């Protein structure tokens, strides 16, 4: 399998993936609309493309790591700069953003019309784990494109979960996971704020929680940083606000009662409305 791969979107996650793959002997061709991030990639010795179409030219696999469905649409299907204008038949697109299942299905269908494979491949674990190849990847879609790219997928992530052959099931799984993440983080922030209001030391309380029944990975990871005043953005409030909203919309579409998820989604929406959309989601504690 060719060891050159295109990555469009080198924000926190895409940049971590690009660096890790470069360290593992792959040749990433990267594209981002942020000139500073592009300059950073160039300084790192990576090839920087001027458009998604340029990045995708003559590569076997395109990894899309942008934020949402609207950005994904432009990356893939813009009439001038879209990757679909240069990807050849038999190439494969890995859709890594957290987007609605219906959008995954729509993109996969349009790519199939062009003879391009699509793997629904949302990721989880954050930039630190992406940088070391230990994030998780949720794969859905036909088996053959993933099987032929096993080396790349296993370089990117561990574990790699094979969800199903139905495009959109990766997105469904990711939304279920992220709804629980939102519930856990909102709950942990609320509980620790209660501890502080009740006159308890928040750090001591968190240490107790971490060794007791209230522990959650996201609560510990985020609130440890919040208490230390380390709010450098790794995952913006706006991302979990988007993901929890999409999860609640999916729940409504299948007539599922997600009262706790809706409450958590409302917390993140309120944080965005209060001007915290660009902050790390650990700032929810505030």
Q: Cβ distance 119 to 145 under 8 Å?
A: yes
* CA dist list (Å): 261 to 40, 114, 183: 38, 38, 6
Of 91, 28, 32, 31, whose CA–CA distance to 61 is shortest?
91
Q: How many residues does the chain have?
A: 286
Joined tokens for residue 256: 């599922």
Q: How far apart are CA 9 and CA 137, in angstroms?
A: 17
Joined tokens for residue 16: 């971590």
Distance of CA 216 to the CA centre of its chain: 20
In terms of phi and psi (left: phi > 0; alpha: psi -120 to 50; beta: otherwise), the region of 120 is beta
Joined tokens for residue 164: 């199903």
Residue 236 is given by DSSP the state B
Catalytic residues: 174
Please report where in the chains the tokens 């001027």 appear, as a residue: 50
């Amino acid at each position: 399998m060719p060891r050159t791969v295109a990555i469009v979107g080198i924000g926190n996650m895409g940049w971590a993936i690009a660096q890790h793959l470069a360290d593992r002997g792959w040749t990433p061709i990267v594209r981002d609309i942020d000139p500073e991030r592009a300059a950073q990639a160039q300084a790192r010795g990576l090839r920087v493309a001027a458009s998604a179409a340029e990045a995708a030219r003559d590569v076997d696999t395109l990894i899309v790591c942008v934020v949402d469905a609207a950005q994904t649409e432009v990356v893939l299907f813009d009439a001038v700069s879209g990757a679909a204008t240069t990807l050849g038949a038999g190439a494969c697109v890995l859709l890594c953003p957290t987007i609605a299942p219906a959008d995954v299905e729509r993109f996969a269908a349009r790519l199939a019309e062009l003879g391009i494979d699509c793997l629904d491949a949302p990721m989880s674990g954050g930039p630190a784990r992406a940088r070391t190849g230990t994030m998780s990847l949720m794969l859905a879609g036909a088996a053959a494109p993933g099987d032929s790219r096993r080396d790349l997928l296993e370089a990117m992530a561990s574990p790699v979960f094979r969800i199903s052959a139905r495009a959109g099931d990766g997105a469904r799984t990711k939304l279920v996971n992220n709804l629980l993440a939102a519930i856990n983080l909102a709950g942990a922030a609320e509980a620790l704020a209660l501890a502080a209001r009740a006159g308890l030391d928040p750090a001591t309380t968190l240490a107790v929680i971490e060794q007791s029944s209230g522990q959650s990975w996201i609560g510990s990871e985020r609130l440890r940083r919040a208490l230390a005043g380390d709010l450098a953005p790794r995952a913006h409030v706006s991302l979990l606000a988007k993901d929890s909203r999409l999860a609640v919309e999916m729940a409504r579409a299948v007539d599922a009662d997600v009262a706790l998820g809706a409450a958590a989604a409302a917390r993140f929406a309120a944080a965005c409305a209060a001007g915290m959309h660009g902050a790390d989601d650990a700032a929810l504690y505030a």
